[in-house]
Amino acid sequence: MLNLPTQDLRYTAIEFLEKSPLQRLQILKQLGIARYDFLTQIRLNEPNIICIMRFFKYPSQLKFPNLIGADLSGLILDGVNFIRGNLSGANLQGSSLVNADLLFANFTKADLRNADLRGTSLNETIWLETLVDKGQLGVGTGLDYLQRQDLEQRGAIFNS
C-alpha cells in the first residue's frame, strides 16, 4: 500500500473501508499503524476515503492523526489519542470522546454539536469557527477562561 499512484491509493482506501472492523485492524497492524484503531469504525463515504488515502500514503511517517474533513460523526471514540490531531472541518457531531487525549488538537471549522467530551484533555486546542452547540465538556479540561467563555457562548455545556 506504499507509494501507490493516487488512483490505486483511492481504490485501496475504498477496499479498506468495505472490510469488516477486524479485517481493517489486521491491515492497520500490517502497516504499523494499529494505534489508529478508530479507523476500524469509520464509514465508507467520500470524506473518509480521502482520510484513509492520507493515512495509507506514507504509513511509516505518520506521527499525528490528520483527520481534516473526516466523518467521525456518531462514533464512540472514548479514550482515543488525537494529540496534535488536525480535525479541521471534521464531522464529530454526536460522537463520544469521553476521556480522550486531544492536547494541541485543531478543531477549526469542525462540527462538535452534541458531542460528548467530558473528561477530555483539551490543553492548547484551537476552536476557530467550531460548531459546539449542545456539546458536553467537563470542568477543568485544560481550556483557559477565554476559551471556556467563548465555547459557552456558542452553546457548549460544561458539566461539573
Same domain for 45 and 73: no
pLDDT tens for each residue of 34-88: 999 999 999 999 999 999 999 999 888 888 999 999 999 999 999 999 999 999 9
Same domain for 80 and 143: yes
Same domain for 158 and 83: yes
Q: Which of 31, 47, 62 is the last residue of a domain?
A: 62
Task: Give the Cα separation of 17 and 39 in Å (integer).
Answer: 9
pLDDT for residue 67: 97
**Residue 43 near residue 17 (C-beta atoms within 8 A):** yes
Same domain for 143 and 75: yes
Number of domains in the chain: 2
Task: Give the Cα separation of 118 and 116 in Å (integer).
Answer: 6
In 3D space, the residue among 5, 46, 12, 48 whose CA is nearest the CA of residue 31 turns out to be: 12
> What does the block give as the cell for 30?
500490517
Average pLDDT value for residue range 19-45: 96
Q: Locate cell 465555547: which residue?
A: 151
Q: Which domain holds residue 157?
A: 65-160
